[in-house]
A = this chain, B = another copy of it.
Amino acid sequence: MHQEAPAALSSAPLLFQLIQTSSGTEASTSRPARPKPGLRPGPNIKDTGSRMRGTLGLSLSLLVCLTLGLLCVGLACVWSSRFRGGFGWDGSGLEFNWHPVLMTTGLVVVYGYASVLYRVPMTWGQSKLLWKLLHAVLMLVALLLSVVGLCAVFDFHNKNHIPNIYSLHSWVGLCAVLLFAVQWGAGFSLFLLPWSPLSWRKAFKPVHVWLGGSILGLSIAACISGINEKLFFVLKGGNHSQPYSDLPSEAMLANSLGIVIVAFGLVVLYVLTNKRWQRPEAQPQDGAYAVS
């Protein structure tokens, strides 16, 4: 079990909390010096400066992640509403327009936010169970948004007699959603239900982390191929419209959405793979990450 923070810590100013929790992370990634009996180690100005820079780097990365995620949702909404006529649920192209917005929001942005939740320094001094629950709830929201996004495209296809699940985009996207559903079910059963054995949690944790990153990668590949496919479908030129190859404003906006999605994924993976930014008790050597 990880140790609870003192009550005073939760009411301390944020910057103080950041430094305290960052100090915990640093200590867990390198073997701490053993203090002499009866003495508490005094503060080291160089170490404190380094830790503060580390936590500021994490906070900045999380801020970039938050901003890029909101930009993804905003660009997808502008594309569907301004260039594709808006939204509806009537089997027309307006229903299809939910597909890029919901898949980007659920499978990429909310998924990415839920992935980096444990890296938010203000969560480190608090009970992990609360943040596990929020992680699971956010992931469930992401999964439900993705399923509704799939329903939108299936319903649009069925009502317009367009075949389903033939393009590579659809194969990869469906793989991503199916793996996500399996990951959520397995994660819930193993890490939230109290009767799952500790040995199973420890064994499954690396698979959960690897599969989590892989699903994000698959989702991004599905988004890129989907945006690319849609632009080739709708920007054919003729009828007073410009072809995709002329890069009209719709193409510029949707291509930019793709690049922002890629940038968001890179920042999320950077935050997740940086060992200095792991939640303190999540170090492998204490074996406690799977218990709380």
Query: Which residues of A are in contact with B by a Cβ distance under 8 Å?
Result: 29-31, 162-163, 166-169, 171-172, 175, 206, 209-210, 213-214, 217-218, 220-222, 224-225, 227-229, 231-232, 244-247, 251, 254-255, 258-259, 262, 265-266, 269-270, 273-275, 284-285
Contacts and interface: CB of A to CB of B under 8 A. Distances in A.
Contact of A171 (B31, B221, B259): B259
Contacts of A247: 166
A38 to B, nearest CB: 25
B255 A168 contact: yes
Contacts of A225: 169, 221, 224-225, 228-229
Contact of A169 (B29, B175, B228): B228
Q: How many copies does the complex hold?
A: 2
B213 A30 contact: no
Contacts of A285: 29-31
Contact of A273 (B162, B210, B222, B224): B210
29 contacts: A30-B284, A30-B285, A163-B245, A166-B246, A167-B228, A167-B244, A168-B224, A168-B255, A168-B258, A169-B224, A169-B225, A172-B224, A172-B258, A172-B259, A172-B262, A175-B259, A175-B262, A206-B274, A210-B270, A210-B273, A213-B273, A214-B266, A217-B220, A217-B269, A218-B262, A220-B221, A221-B221, A224-B224, A228-B228
Contact of A265 (B168, B217, B231, B255): B217
A233 B284 CA distance: 49
Contacts of A262: 172, 175, 218, 221
A198 to B, nearest CB: 16
Contacts of A231: 167-168
Contacts of A209: 273
Nearest to A265: B217
Contacts of A270: 210
B254 A168 contact: yes
Contacts of A269: 210, 213-214, 217
A251 B165 CA distance: 12
A116 to B, nearest CB: 14
Contact of A228 (B163, B206, B229, B274): B229
A264 to B, nearest CB: 12
Contact of A232 (B167, B246, B266, B273): B167
